[in-house]
Amino acid sequence: MQRIILDVDTGLDDAVALFLAAGLEEIKIEAVIATAGNVGLDKTLENTLNIMETTGLDCPVYAGSAAPLVRVPVEAGDFHGETGLDGPIFATRLRQEVQAQSGIDAMITLVTNNPQEITIVSVGPLTDLARALQREPAVASLAKEFVIMGGSFSSGNVTPEAEFNTYADPEAAKIVFSSGAKIALFSLDCTRTVTLSAERLEGFRAKSGRSNEVFVACMDTYTANYTKRRQGEPQMHDPLCVAYLIDPSKVSGAYHGVDVILEEGPSYGKTIKRDTSKNTFVAESIDIPWFWTLVERALAALP
């Protein structure tokens, strides 16, 4: 059983990560933390609560950071829509509500009370994890692993060189990558290879269940936004981090040290390999048919 904290900026592909984590019996979600990223915190929190309510899982949702550590906020509404989760319609929530404790405090408490037990999966800007490390550096050694979606070692998706999550809070990313923690990193170089075809989406549309319906509504919007931007099929960035936890042997990659460029200029927010330490497993490819079997299994298990 993999016990995880899932830090999200929900987000259309974040929603898929949530469905995957909620629907796979091998995973126990201890906490979900919403951070500002794709859209502002109010919206990512609302989206996260709605998805968690859809899954029927009784799992605490916390508010994380409302803004990056240093830089001015940037958002990614072009891909996710104005709400951050354009597409599905949600009824009034009956169960899910935000916890009073801050997400950063919850992260520190969970990790310190359960040494080597909790994996932190972060699929938005790394602000919450960086704040937790600033406050309690032992989080780096007490967490089992950090599994992160972010960065690119080729071209970016928000600037020519930088990927959105690291660009949205590069100073936080630097703190996390230099923390000494065991890290698995899913950069664009891997996540861009996993896309949702129109044919596969039709396959999901033919299935039943409320979670499946919300997934399809999200993916319709995601597909339309990629098409509008002439970016091909929509890319399944965030859920790959959850898939990795189920079977790391389905992912190939290599160990490196990772750094983030903080100097102002065209490379701001870009990730680079700096092999002075090699604490980060940089994913290069994943078994794509296997990944889709996981999505099918998760959605079939959910209401």
Options 97-105, 158-166, 207-215, 273-281: segment touching ligand BDR (CB under 6 A) = 158-166
163 lines the binding site for ligand BDR (CB under 6 A): yes
123 lines the binding site for Ca ion (CB under 5 A): yes
Please list every residue from 91 through 120 that binds ligand BDR, using CB under 6 A: none
Q: Which residue has the tokens 């803004």?
A: 67
**Binds ligand BDR (CB under 6 A): choice among 16, 45, 68, 79:** 79
Give whichever of 222 and 292 is closer to ligand BDR, judged by the CB atom.
Answer: 222
**Binds Ca ion (CB under 5 A): choice among 11, 68, 150, 151:** 11
Please list every residue from 214 through 243 that binds Ca ion, using CB under 5 A: 238
Other Cβ atoms closer than 10 A to 94: 7
Q: Could you confirm whether 9 is annotated as catalytic? A: yes
- Decide: 61 and 99 in contact? Cβ < 8 Å: yes
Q: Which of these, 50, 39, 81, 82, lies nearest to 221 by C-alpha position?
A: 81
**Binds ligand BDR (CB under 6 A): choice among 11, 68, 234, 239:** 11
165 lines the binding site for ligand BDR (CB under 6 A): yes
Give whichever of 11 and 170 is closer to ligand BDR, judged by the CB atom.
Answer: 11
For residue 230, the number of C-alpha atoms closer than 13 Å in the C-beta half-sphere is 0
Strand blocks (E) in 12-69: 27-34, 61-63
CA dihedral 139, 11, 164, 73 (to 10 degrees): -80
Q: Which residue is nearest to ligand BDR (CB)?
A: 164
Other Cβ atoms closer than 10 A to 113: 10
Give whichever of 47 and 178 is closer to ligand BDR, judged by the CB atom.
Answer: 47
Query: Which residue type sits at 124?
Result: G
Give whichever of 116 and 154 is closer to ligand BDR, judged by the CB atom.
Answer: 154
Q: Which of these, 135, 125, 97, lies nearest to 238 by C-alpha position?
A: 125
The DSSP code sequence of 264-290 is SSTTTT-EEE-TTS--EEEEEEE-HHH
Name the catalytic one among 9, 13, 169, 189. Answer: 9
Q: Which residue has the tokens 């996260």?
A: 48
Coil, strand or helix: which one is 107? helix
- Residue 222 binds which entry of Ca ion, ligand BDR, none, CB below 5-8 Å type-dependent: none
84 lines the binding site for Ca ion (CB under 5 A): no
Provide the annotated active-site residues.
Answer: 9
Residues that bind Ca ion in the complex, under the rule CB under 5 A: 9, 11, 14, 123-124, 238
Residues that bind ligand BDR in the complex, under the rule CB under 6 A: 11, 13-14, 38, 76, 79, 123-124, 149, 157, 163-165, 237-238
